Amino acid sequence: MNLKEEKYTRYALVREMMETPGIIKSFDPGVSAKFADAIKSKKGLFLTGEGSSRIFPAKRAIQRSLQKSFAMPVVTEGSTQAAEYDLQDFAVFAASNSGQTKEVIRLVTSLKQHKHNAVFGLTANPGTKLEEIASGTHVLTCGKENAVAATKSVVEQGLFYDSLLRKIHGVKMEGLKDLAEKTEQALTIKIDAGITDIIRKASVIYFAGRNNGVAEELALKTNEITRKKSAYLEGTFAVHGIEEVMDKSEVLIWIDPFEAEQDKFNECLVKGVGMNIIAISAKKTIFPTIIIPEGGEHSEYVQLAAGWNLLVETGISLGIDLDKPVRARKVGNEYIAG
């Protein structure tokens, strides 16, 4: 996709996606510093929210924390289930772009009523209910999103959590200019028409990949952008039983495929089921592959951007109004005072 052709520029969704490289480039890792001491006073960090405000930002933070052997445990759960937990030993960050998500407001209110002293908010809008009740709140710089599907805010949330964990552990955040350039490349890379056609015709679109929020977030975006049914198959789940009910009309998009498992996926799904597998990767695979820049320790952002690109091309090829879903709302479950 690009910002030169009217078929793309007419949509707020595309314009907001294309703002993402600039948001990455201008991101200030110092914005999380004011929260670091309060969080270090706790035994762990609990990241909550609903939908896109949690899936990618929180799960990527967990993956990177484990990869870097950071001492502080990082955990995530949806806000309603989180209300069933004893979180007194955790610093809690609750993310809601609107600042009005009902489940988030309910959890934060309950924690504050129980005298929890480290409950923080992450939102894209100032002056919200979340900011009013949290111990402290960071407001993103990306600005309001007009498209229903959250995009640029998801990336800035991810960057914020990344900077927060690095600040807590004394690790410098670097490489954002390079990441911005690679993200723009992923957003604008030309998608082979044959790949778009396979996905356009699919009855169900599965996403496979690591539990770092990328494939799962893209599965959600598939519903909002292409209006097709989708599912996220974590890790190698796709070859552990679900193949029994898959059929050749479906497609699997594999994010950064595990090299050791490609032959098994090919045997079970391509040969066994007769379905197509499309890969998004920085290197060639045995499947039709959308080759993207190598993002190093920031690779998940590049992968996510490439997935957005693919979904936009699919949605446009289907003649869908990307900004106007029939049922999906910008605030899925909105808090209403009183």
- Contact in structure between 93 and 122 (CB atoms under 8 Å): yes
Domains 6-173 and 178-317 share a fold: yes
Which pLDDT score is estimated for 324? 87
Question: Over the stretch 204-231, which tens digit does the pLDDT of each residue have?
Answer: 999 999 999 999 999 999 999 999 999 9
CATH number of 6-173: 3.40.50.10490
Judge whether residue 113 has pLDDT over 80.
yes
Average pLDDT over residues 155-175: 97
Bridge partners (DSSP) of residue 136 are 120
pLDDT at residue 25 tops 80: yes
3-state SS class at 252 = strand
- Where b means 16+ CB within 10 Å and e means fewer, 272-281 reads ebebbbbbbb
Give pLDDT, residue 120.
98
Compute how many other C-beta atoms are within 10 angstroms of the C-beta atom of residue 77.
18
Residue 338's pLDDT band, with cuts at 50, 70 and 90, is low
119/107 Cα distance (integer angstroms) = 10
Across the chain, what does the average pLDDT equal? 95
Kindly report the number of other CB atoms within 10 A of residue 270's CB atom.
Answer: 16
Mean pLDDT of 100-110: 96
Strand partners, 46: 75, 92
Q: How far is residue 112's CA from residue 159's CA, in Å, rounded to a whole number?
A: 26
Could you give the percent of the chain with pLDDT greater than 90? 94
How is the chain split into domains, by residue range?
Answer: 6-173, 178-317
What does the alpha-carbon distance between residue 189 and residue 169 come to, in Å, rounded to a whole number? 36
The whole-model pTM stands at 0.96
Architecture of domain 178-317: 3-Layer(aba) Sandwich (3.40)
Statement: residue 162 has pLDDT above 80: yes
What is the rounded distance in angstroms from the CA atom of residue 7 to the CA atom of residue 14? Answer: 10
Check whether 330 has a pLDDT greater than 70. Answer: no
